[in-house]
Chains A and B, each alone.
Chain A
Amino acid sequence: MRSTVAAILRKDLRLELRTFEAIPSMTLFSLTTFVLFHFGLNETSVEGDLAAGVLWVTLLFAAILGLNRLFVAEEEQGGFDGFLLAPVDRTAMFVAKATGLFLFLALVELVAVPAFTILLLGPSPWAILPELILVLALGNAGIAVVGTLVAGIAVRTRARDLIGPLITLPLLVPVILAASQATAPLLAEGGAQALPGRWVAVLGIYDLIFGLVAYGVFDFLLED
């Protein structure tokens, strides 16, 4: 299982380095959205709930761009068939794709979060960086797990670009809610407050439950 996951992950990263289809578009989308918020909100800086909401909604829509490409090479270039002919655990495909999306999101955030700080954020985030990274990681995990599961369903439909987001976005409302609630105190005006453990726990539990569900059903999604 581990070697299969590594093989798929390595292949996907190599394909991304060759084609630059996902990460640049996700990053540019994030940056453009922050610029639009900067002018649209007509404020020089945001903090607290508003800052957290702007950050997470932007990251979510950027993730949707990556999700739509996640299985396209498998579907259009016979990757699914090649994989299904091999004597391997089919769940490895889910683990590799979810891990890949998590890494893509992390790379996007390396650019997007500093840009958000410069363009929009009032309070400095550097003092609360470890807590922010924890919330970002848990939020990314939720988006990656749910998104990969739905993308695996949607890619075999004709209207995959529509069906993917239509199913993914409602399923990710709890992730966005919990991530925003966990982030807001960190970005509060007049200094960061303590990380709300309750919302971090909600994020963690949601990630775990959906991770287990996806792990259990993904094999059947690949069946004819």
Chain B
Amino acid sequence: MTAAINSIPAHPPPAAIVLEDLTRVFGERIALDEVSLTVEAGTTLVVFGPNGAGKSTLLRILATLLRPQLGTARVLGHELPREGWALRGKVGLLTHEPLLYRDLSVRENLRFHARLHGVAAGRIDEVLAATKLTDRAGDPIRALSRGLAQRAAVCRAILHDPPLLLLDEPRANLDPASVELVEPLIGRASGRTRVITSHDPRGGLAEADVALGLRGGRVELLRDAREVTVEDVGALYG
């Protein structure tokens, strides 16, 4: 442990995400209001907040699906929205919707995304095996339960081995066994930088390095997760 502390490199790696006064407005509604934060590479930021707090908007901006209107956003060294093209392909996004075509099979969906990302076909079998979906790979998405569809969505999100994962309540539809199954892929063990939204204070804090609390688009809480209590998070929902 001491050796690790003493061996701090002269030039630490650049932060994975740097936001300064990031603002996004939809019509008259301010979805994100001057959000500033830094996420170091390989660490996990967990975002808490009630519905409409701006969590999903934050994820969509980081994924280049929405443009920031004011402030600056630098993700994996790329300034958004100017260098968004360079960031695409380095992000894995998991949302409430699986982003898979309902009438195509799991394998057909993954093959389509593999082609878009220039990923070898062999990788599809790897991710299917890792999520224990090999036997259901020929089933259309519409025939799968929500939990199985979520596992297929995990396959899609990590198919191209992205260094940054953006996870919107990733375990919402998963049973405990499935949660354990996807842990090496999207959990801390994956070694990826992660931004996770959560409504579960205890579970969220357990895997967070940094906790962010949003309410009405404004930052109400931003601290090292070890300094945040379940009550602190609960206060966001009051």
Contact = CB atoms under 8 A, between A and B. Distances in A.
B is bound to A: yes
Interface of A: 3-4, 6-7, 10-11, 14-15, 18-19, 73, 77-79, 81-88, 223-224
Nearest to A92: B116
Interface of B: 63-67, 85, 88-89, 91, 93, 95, 97-104, 108, 112-113, 115-118, 140, 156
A84 B65 contact: yes
Contacts of B89: 85-87
A13 B1 CA distance: 57
Given A4-B116, A7-B116, A87-B88, A81 B101 contact: no
A78 B115 contact: no
B156 A14 contact: no
19 contacts: A3-B115, A7-B115, A11-B112, A14-B108, A18-B103, A19-B103, A73-B103, A77-B99, A79-B101, A81-B95, A82-B116, A84-B64, A85-B63, A85-B89, A86-B113, A87-B88, A223-B67, A224-B65, A224-B66
Contacts of B93: 81, 85
Nearest to B102: A77
A166 to B, nearest CB: 24
> Closest 6 interchain pairs by CB?
A87-B89, A78-B99, A86-B116, A7-B115, A82-B99, A18-B103
B101 A83 contact: no
A14 B65 contact: no
A65 to B, nearest CB: 19
B141 to A, nearest CB: 8
A11 B66 CA distance: 26
A32 B76 CA distance: 57
Contacts of B101: 11, 15, 73, 77, 79
Contacts of A10: 112
- Judged by DSSP, the binding face of A is helix
Contacts of A6: 115
Given A85-B91, A85-B93, A87-B89, A15 B98 contact: no
B134 to A, nearest CB: 21
B67 A224 contact: yes
A79 to B, nearest CB: 7
Contacts of A4: 115-116
Given A77-B97, A77-B100, A85-B63, 17 more contacts: A4-B115, A14-B104, A14-B108, A15-B103, A73-B101, A77-B101, A78-B97, A81-B93, A81-B99, A82-B113, A84-B64, A84-B88, A86-B116, A87-B85, A87-B89, A87-B118, A224-B67
B108 A86 contact: no
Given A19-B103, A77-B100, A77-B102, A83 B65 contact: no
A126 B64 CA distance: 54
A10 B225 CA distance: 46
A51 B156 CA distance: 51
A10 B116 CA distance: 12
A210 B104 CA distance: 32
A99 to B, nearest CB: 16
A69 to B, nearest CB: 13
B104 A86 contact: no
A21 to B, nearest CB: 9
